[in-house]
Amino acid sequence: MRRTWTIIAVKDVASSFKWYPSLFGLEETAPAHDDFGQILDSDGTVLICLHAWGVHDHPPLVSPEHAQPGNGLLLFFRVDDFDMALQRARSLVAQFEEEPHLNPNTGTTEFSLRDLDGYYITVSALAAA
């Protein structure tokens, strides 16, 4: 295996499709469909897929009423522009779940926030502090 495609269920694909590129400093594009879209890095790598709740009969994506979004899931992104990502993140949310700090396990600086659907996201510097 070389890559994984993480797919999360969201209430509004179009809104989330704007939020994630804003966080990562990517050019805004439109999702491929009303109910599904892939956020791609500048080299075409899939960073995350956004899937509307209750579409296509995928059992874990049936309804947010039957499952807590993000329960048991940590979206962990490593970025090469940490300081800029921090600025972008501050413009997207009113407060962080965790302010920037050094993670002693990875030796990198990171912060955590929640997306529009409540998913817990950690953004980490690519290089050690």
Domain ranges of the chain: 7-125
How much is the average pLDDT of 12-38? 94
Q: What's the rounded Cα separation, in Å, for the pair 127 and 110?
A: 11
pLDDT, tens only, 85-129: 999 999 999 999 999 999 999 999 999 999 999 999 999 999 876
| CATH architecture for the domain at 7-125 | Roll (3.10)
Residue 86 has what pLDDT?
A: 98
Digit-coded pLDDT (tens) for 55-96: 877 767 777 777 666 666 889 999 999 999 999 999 999 999
* 35 pLDDT higher than 80: yes
Q: Strands across the sheet with 75-79, in order?
A: 75-79, 120-125, 108-114, 98-103
